[in-house]
């Protein structure tokens, strides 16, 4: 398997982390990297604003984490970022507007990181990039997808495109490495039709509606997860409430709140192991005072600190 080569960030790495663009040299606990380009339904919409998210997230670094020796005072562990080997892996390149190749390279990067024992943390891009990211998980046999999203994403195709942002859970359901899908924060109108919901239910996707979580809490979601599960977290930021993350496109009131998501992350490492994270649908043009970037940056660090602390600091 040949090592991915990525584009360097325009400024500095995510929270000032060391940048590695030749993944042959990737020696890390986790790699954070950009996958900017989802497959568009209309070429007029390419590239979209979500493509700017990896750079916008890095630009907010000084407001996400000031010092690598600082502790996360929420956590029971006293570990800090500097105790773990976190790397900014650059951005998956786009050659000649070839999104098909961009997808292949993204899929390969996820596969490569996993083979090296490095947790992949990818930053989109729109939700279309979730399709190749999940295909890259084929080094595993028994993955539970934890999708946080307002939308079902079970369309078989839209405008003739099967790898766009309306289809990632449908595509995931077709892969042998995916044994369960939990859809968390689902609500209101999107592009899903009756038949898409029926397909999801027939497959056995567990749909945890935002309204049910609001009434009964996140505990019932965590209780429903498999024990000793291998969890891949697919975070579409529109799953969160717009008051938490306004910097997205498909705003939907009534979403998951901050502490509910933190509780879910804590529940995942108690129940099993987080094997990767994919963040999509951040739209910098809609952000307010960088709050969405700060929220996502800190969620990435929190998830990694929780998982890496439970498996012990690296030597
Ligand atoms: Mn969504």
- Sorted by where each begins, the domain ranges of the chain are 14-310
Count the Cβ atoms, other than its own, within 10 Å of residue 174.
10
Distance from Cα 238 to the centre of ligand 1, integer Å: 5
On the question of a cis peptide bond just before residue 284, with omega within 30 degrees of 0, the verdict is no
Structure tokens at 306: 């929780």
The answer to whether residues 281 and 237 touch, using CB atoms and an 8 Å cutoff, is yes
**Interior/surface letters 187-224, b for 16+ CB within 10 angstroms, e for the rest:** beebbbeeebeebbeebebebbebeebbeeebeebbee
The pLDDT-based confidence of 28 (bands split at 50, 70, 90) is: very high
Residue 189 has pLDDT above 60, yes or no: yes
The pLDDT-based confidence of 197 (bands split at 50, 70, 90) is: very high
For residues 52-60, average pLDDT: 98
Which pLDDT score is estimated for 73? Answer: 87
Structure tokens at 35: 């996958």
Q: What fold characterizes domain 14-310?
A: 3.40.800
Distance from Cα 186 to the centre of ligand 1, integer Å: 9
Distance from Cα 27 to the centre of ligand 1, integer Å: 33
The answer to whether residues 154 and 167 touch, using CB atoms and an 8 Å cutoff, is yes
Distance from Cα 313 to the centre of ligand 1, integer Å: 34
Residue 75 has pLDDT above 80, yes or no: no
Instruction: Say which residue the tokens 């990435």 belong to.
Output: 300
Q: Which helix (H) or strand (E) holds 137?
A: none
Residues whose CB falls within 8 Å of the CB of residue 273, separated by 6 or more in sequence, listed in order: 229, 230, 231, 307, 310, 311
Task: Check: pTM over 0.85? Answer yes or no.
Answer: yes
Nearest to 245 by CA among 5, 72, 31, 60: 60
Distance from Cα 260 to the centre of ligand 1, integer Å: 18
Distance from Cα 12 to the centre of ligand 1, integer Å: 29
Which pLDDT score is estimated for 79? Answer: 83
How far apart are alpha carbons 55 and 162 in whole angstroms?
27
Edge-first strand listing for the sheet containing 119-123: 86-91, 30-34, 119-123, 272-280, 229-236, 143-148, 178-186, 206-209
């Amino acid at each position: 398997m040949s090592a991915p080569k990525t584009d360097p960030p325009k400024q500095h790495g995510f929270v000032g982390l060391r940048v590695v663009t030749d993944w042959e040299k990737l020696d890390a606990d986790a790699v954070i990297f950009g996958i900017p380009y989802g497959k568009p339904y209309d070429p007029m919409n390419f590239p979209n604003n979500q493509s700017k998210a990896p750079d916008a997230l890095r630009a907010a670094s000084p407001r996400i984490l000031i010092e690598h020796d600082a502790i996360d005072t929420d956590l029971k562990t006293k570990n800090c970022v500097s105790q773990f080997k976190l790397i900014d892996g650059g951005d998956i390149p786009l050659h000649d507007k070839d999104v098909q190749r961009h997808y292949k390279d993204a899929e390969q990067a996820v596969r490569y990181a996993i083979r090296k024992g490095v947790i992949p943390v990818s930053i989109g891009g729109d939700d279309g990039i979730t399709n190749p990211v999940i295909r890259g998980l084929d080094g595993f046999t028994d993955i539970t997808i934890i999708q946080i999203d307002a939308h079902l994403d079970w369309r078989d195709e839209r405008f003739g495109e099967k790898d766009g942002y309306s289809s990632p859970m449908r595509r995931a359901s077709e892969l042998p490495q995916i044994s369960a899908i939990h859809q968390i924060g689902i609500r209101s109108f999107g592009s899903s039709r009756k038949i898409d919901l029926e397909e999801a239910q027939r497959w056995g996707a567990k749909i945890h509606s935002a309204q049910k979580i609001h009434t009964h809490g996140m505990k019932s979601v965590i209780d429903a997860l498999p024990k000793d599960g291998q969890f891949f977290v697919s975070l579409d930021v529109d799953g969160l409430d717009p008051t938490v993350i306004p910097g997205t496109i498909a705003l939907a009131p009534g979403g998951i709140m901050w502490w509910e998501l933190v509780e879910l992350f804590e529940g995942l490492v108690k129940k099993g192991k987080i094997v990767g994270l994919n963040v999509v649908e951040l739209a910098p043009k809609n952000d307010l005072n960088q709050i969405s970037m700060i929220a996502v940056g800190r969620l990435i660090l929190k998830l990694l600190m929780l998982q890496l602390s439970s498996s012990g600091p690296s030597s």
